[in-house]
Amino acid sequence: MKNILLIVALLVAPMLFFGISVEKSAAIAPITNSVSEAEYEWSANKEAFSSLYLEQTEDCESGGIFRSRTKNIHLSGPTALMVASELSTGSQMENVEGMFDYISNMPYVRYSEWRETEDILKSMDGDCADKSVALVSLLKGAGFESYVVYGNEIDDYSHAWVSVNIDGYWLQLDPTTNDMFSIYRCIEEGCDFSTHYEIAGFFDNSESYDCS
């Protein structure tokens, strides 16, 4: 009888040990899993980032539908919807980060006019306008309120970038860089390109705003 009890104890003990071990691991997992660097920086600065955008756009006036020199720009398309769905697998910031990385990694190629989303995602390259159009199309496909933003013309050049609303706060993104917060670092540090980030206007599929 003692031998039987000893055998049972030897069989049950490892099960109890590993069962407790797994439960402990599951219990501490949410504490040990750290947020991404982007989420941490966003959490710490979202009020300031959003306030900057709202201050820059508070006096902007509605200007109807945006028109490029040749056509209206449609910030949508089946490819954009498909890619947005594939990249929307995490938190709001993780989804935005995934879409930003997808577009920012596209090679920079200068084009002479604004292009449609499907053309951009087919060639998988583009300049600041192309990358901004493509990123906004992905963001809108994932349900984010977002706009293509453009700056004042300086030396015959006008830069374009993106604004997106994440849980009620505005973030500006420059997909020609590989840093989600490059605009804010540039403005704060007074980089040579900072004047290009002065907002002249912004638009989406249904409206445009003139801020100049």
Separation CA 118–CA 201 (nearest Å)? 23
- pLDDT digits 0-9 by tens, 148-172: 999 998 888 899 999 999 999 999 9
Residue 71 has pLDDT above 90, yes or no: no
Alpha-carbon torsion (99, 204, 166, 211), positive or negative: positive
Residue 12 has pLDDT above 70, yes or no: no
Separation CA 105–CA 120 (nearest Å)? 13
pTM of the model: 0.82
Q: Which two three-digit tokens encode residue 127?
A: 């300049």
Which has more confidence, 79 or 112?
Answer: 79
The residue assigned the tokens 């099960």 is: 15
How confident is residue 34, by pLDDT bands cut at 50, 70 and 90?
Answer: low
Residue 8 has pLDDT above 90, yes or no: no
Q: Which two three-digit tokens encode residue 121?
A: 């995602």
The residue assigned the tokens 């159009």 is: 133
Q: Is 158 helix (H, G, I), strand (E, B) or coil?
A: coil
- pLDDT digits 0-9 by tens, 162-210: 999 999 999 999 999 999 999 999 999 988 889 999 999 999 998 999 9
